């Protein structure tokens, strides 16, 4: 799921798996909310760049190749009650 210059959206209950790049790639976006998404077996689970004030709540992010969450040049993103395994968080 590629999301660029997107604002004030809600993404609920998506199943994202076996993606060569990023399950969710959020670029130049703010004030979006992600609830109950399942992201597995991608290169990055969630990749965030130049994005702020986004909420990630009750998502499952597991078994991604590089990392589960990658943060780059981003601020004030909130992560609450997410399941993150086999990949961790990488802040660049």
Q: Determine the average pLDDT of the residues in 47-52.
A: 98
> How confident is the model over 60-87, as pLDDT tens digits?
999 999 999 999 999 999 999 999 999 8
| pLDDT for the residue 92 | 63
Residue of higher predicted confidence among 26 and 92? 26
**DSSP codes of every residue in 50-83:** S-BS-EEES-EEE--SSEEEEEES-B--EEES-E
Cα 69 off chain centre by: 6
> How confident is the model over 4-35, as pLDDT tens digits?
999 999 999 999 999 999 999 999 999 999 99
| pLDDT for the residue 54 | 98
CA-angle at 68, arms to 47 and 35, nearest 5°: 75
């Amino acid at each position: 799921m590629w999301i660029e210059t997107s604002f004030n959206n809600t993404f609920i209950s998506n199943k994202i798996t076996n993606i060569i790049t990023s399950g969710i790639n959020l670029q130049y976006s703010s004030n979006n909310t992600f609830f109950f998404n399942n992201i597995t077996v991608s290169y990055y689970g969630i990749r965030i760049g130049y994005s702020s004030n986004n909420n990630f709540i009750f998502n499952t992010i597991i078994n991604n190749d590089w990392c589960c969450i990658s943060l780059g040049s981003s601020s004030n993103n909130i992560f609450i009650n997410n399941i993150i395994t086999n990949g961790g968080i990488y802040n660049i």
